[in-house]
Amino acid sequence: MINFHPNMQQLDLFVAGNVEPSVALIFSAHIDMCHKCRQKCQKLQQIQSIEALSENIRVATDLSSMLHGITALPQSQDVVVKPSQYKPLELDGKKFELPRTLKRYVQHTGNWSRLVGKLWQAPVDLGYMGKANFIYMENGGKVPEHTHKGTELTLVIDGQYSDGLADYDCGDFTLLDGQHKHQPHSDVDGGCLVFTIVDKPLHFTAGIARLLNPFSHLFF
Ligand SMILES: [Zn+2]
């Protein structure tokens, strides 16, 4: 069950197109998985269109030409690829079902690398939006305790994990920053796959993992 969602203010900015493209991507992927946020976004969209329309009517001298302008706007730039054309995300013969928004990025996902602590990482090239990672924690897998120099956006794609702050399930979204110190780990059969975007390297804080700091770009 999904317990962690973007907040109302974040969704409002998202619907208005006022969030970073990479943030919009992870919000869209969450919304693919979350009917509650889908409904909230539809409502926000209606409110924003009514506000925009009444503003436009106030300034438009010719409503019909304005409406023509709206309908003549270019459609979404997305290249339509049939679902069957998407490759599934695979690791060691295990196939993962991705939210619709992320399916197209499988072809931009690099090879899996096995890291210490029963962790796997595959980098995702988001083009002009930067980069992201799929991180897979095997059952018993652990990311060393760390804090963040920037922000860390995470969406659970499959399985469950905990990080000392909370327990997360499939579809849960979190945004953490320098105020949060945590240690993600998965202790469930089948482990946990997350999609994560960090805008600055992680900072490992505890024990021998501090020695990992020179390699913190691995997660970046
Ligand atoms: Zn939600």
Q: Is 129 exposed, middle or buried (0-12, 13-18, 19+ CB in 10 A)?
A: middle
- Domain ranges in the chain are 8-71, 90-219
23 Cβ contact list (under 8 Å, min separation 6): 14, 153, 197
* Reported confidence tier of residue 88, pLDDT bands at 50, 70, 90: confident
CA of 114 to the centre of ligand 1 (A): 31
CA of 176 to the centre of ligand 1 (A): 16
Q: What integer pLDDT is reported at residue 179 of this predicted model?
A: 86
Per-chain mean pLDDT for the chain: 85
H-assigned helices in 72-193: 100-103
CA of 147 to the centre of ligand 1 (A): 25
39 Cβ contact list (under 8 Å, min separation 6): none
CA of 103 to the centre of ligand 1 (A): 19
Q: Which two tokens stand for residue 4?
A: 């962690």
CA of 28 to the centre of ligand 1 (A): 10
Per-residue pLDDT, averaged over 26-41, amounts to 96
Q: What is the CA radius of gyration of the chain?
A: 20
- Name, of 63-67, 142-146, 157-161, the range with top average pLDDT: 157-161
- Name, of 40-49, 58-67, 205-214, the range with top average pLDDT: 40-49
Write down the CATH number for the domain with range 90-219.
2.60.120.10
Per-residue pLDDT, averaged over 127-155, amounts to 90
* Reported confidence tier of residue 129, pLDDT bands at 50, 70, 90: confident
CA of 21 to the centre of ligand 1 (A): 18
Is the pLDDT higher at 169 or at 215? 169
CA of 36 to the centre of ligand 1 (A): 5
Q: What integer pLDDT is reported at residue 191 of this predicted model?
A: 95
* Reported confidence tier of residue 161, pLDDT bands at 50, 70, 90: very high
Is the pLDDT higher at 146 or at 43? 43
Report the amino acid identity of residue 27.
F
Q: What is the pTM of this model?
A: 0.81
CA 124 – CA 108 distance, rounded (Å): 6
